[in-house]
Amino acid sequence: MLARIKSFAERHPRLAAWIVLATGMVIILVIAARNVGLLWNQWLFLILATIGLAGLCVWIISWEPDDEETDQQPTQKS
C-alpha cells in the first residue's frame, strides 16, 4: 500500500502535494472552528474553499524555478 502511494506521488507530485496540504488544512479548520456553531452549508463552503486554497498554494509554489535548471545555466558578467 505504501509503495502505491509513493509511486503515485512520484508520478503526480503536484496532485499529491495538493491532497496532503488540503487534508492538513481541513483538519486544522475543523479543529479551530468546531465550537463556532456553523451550519452544514457553511462547513461545506469553508471546506471547499480550503481545498481550493490548498490547490492555489501548490500551483503558486510550482512557479518557483527548479534549482537544477538554474545550476545548469552559468551566468556571465560583462
- Domain extent, residue 36, equals 2-55
Residue recorded with cell 483538519? 27
Say whether pLDDT at 76 is over 90.
Answer: no
pLDDT in tens, 50-72: 999 999 999 999 987 766 555 55
Whole-prediction pTM value?
A: 0.77
Total number of domains constituting the chain: 1
Q: Is residue 39 part of a domain?
A: yes
What average pLDDT does range 2-11 have in this prediction? 93
Is 6 among the domain residues?
yes
Question: For the purposes of burial, counting CB atoms within 10 Å of the CB of 26, is it exposed (0-12), middle (13-18) or buried (19 or more)?
Answer: middle
Indicate the SS3 state at residue 56.
helix
Query: What's the pLDDT tens digit per position in 13-51?
Result: 999 999 999 999 999 999 999 999 999 999 999 999 999
- Flag whether 76 is in a domain: no
Q: State the alpha helices, DSSP H only, in 1-78.
A: 2-11, 13-33, 40-61, 67-72
